[in-house]
């Protein structure tokens, strides 16, 4: 059962600047983004990408939960949601990735076979500001999405390039379904799935 008593709430457009700040801080040294986002002007690129995906994907096509005064954020896409392909393939996005755009595309294509073929809750990103970690905010902001997955009877899926996160997600019922290295010398990445918990209350 997922405990959703920690005060996470659904985010809206007014939260976007703070959400972008939080996710840029949380992913400042993350192996995946270091591999897929250009090194020059990296902090600006990273923040802009987090803003882009939260604004263009999370809010219109999924759910975005925030907690701790926007110090923690979880962005999901929902089962059966069809995000227009052009959201992921346009010149604006390529410019943000910079000279790593080809690596970003290659990474997405490489992981596609491991992703669910059935409608699932897809945890696109989750992050907690460094100065707010260790306070339970990660679990607080993760819980509502898992509760919804339980309520609707769908799997939840995620990918992580940090081995410490594997243990964190395992405590919430996720299991590793693939353990791979991205092509071309990219980071080790774990694909994880969580089956719906019939005891979940949503």
**Per-residue pLDDT in tens (0 to 9) along the chain, 202 residues:** 333 435 899 999 999 999 999 999 999 999 999 999 999 999 999 999 999 999 999 999 999 999 999 999 999 999 988 888 888 888 999 999 999 999 999 999 999 999 999 999 999 999 999 999 888 999 999 999 999 999 999 999 999 999 999 999 999 999 999 999 999 999 999 999 999 987 764 4
Domain count, the chain: 1
β-partners of residue 65 are 10, 74
CA distances (Å), origin 114, targets 16, 28, 109, 200? 30, 26, 10, 26
In contact, 59 and 12? CB cutoff 8 Å: yes
In a domain, 199, yes or no: no
Helix 42-53 and helix 16-26: axis angle, to 10°? Answer: 130
In a domain, 200, yes or no: no
Burial class, 13, CB count within 10 angstroms (exposed 0-12 / middle 13-18 / buried 19+): exposed
Domain that holds residue 93: 10-194
The reported pLDDT for the residue numbered 2 is: 39
How far is Cα 41 from Cα 50, in angstroms, rounded to an integer?
Answer: 15
In a domain, 201, yes or no: no
In contact, 27 and 46? CB cutoff 8 Å: yes
Token pair belonging to 86: 């052009």
In a domain, 3, yes or no: no
Longest CA pairwise span in the chain (Å): 48
| CA-wise closest residue to 125 among 181, 77, 80, 163 | 77
134 Cβ partners below 8 Å, 6+ apart?
none
In a domain, 4, yes or no: no
* CATH number (domain holding residue 62): 3.40.630.30
């Amino acid at each position: 059962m997922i405990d959703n008593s920690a005060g996470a709430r659904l985010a809206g457009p007014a939260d976007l600047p703070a959400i972008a700040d939080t996710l840029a801080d949380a992913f400042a040294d993350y192996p995946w983004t270091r591999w897929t986002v250009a090194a020059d002007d990296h902090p600006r690129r990273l923040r802009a990408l987090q803003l882009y995906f939260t604004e263009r994907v999370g809010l219109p096509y999924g759910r975005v939960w925030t907690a701790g005064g926007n110090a923690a954020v979880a962005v999901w896409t929902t089962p059966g949601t069809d995000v227009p392909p052009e959201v992921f393939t346009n010149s604006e996005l390529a410019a943000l990735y910079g000279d790593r755009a080809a690596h970003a595309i290659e990474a997405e294509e490489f992981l596609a076979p491991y992703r669910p073929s059935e409608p699932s809750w897809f945890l696109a990103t989750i992050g907690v500001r460094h100065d707010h970690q260790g306070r339970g905010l990660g679990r607080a902001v993760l819980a509502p999405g898992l509760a919804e997955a339980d309520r609707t009877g769908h799997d939840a899926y995620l990918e992580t390039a940090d081995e410490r996160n594997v243990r964190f997600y395992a405590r919430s019922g996720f299991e590793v379904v693939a353990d791979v290295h991205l092509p071309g010398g990219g980071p080790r990445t774990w694909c994880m799935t969580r089956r719906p918990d019939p005891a979940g209350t949503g």
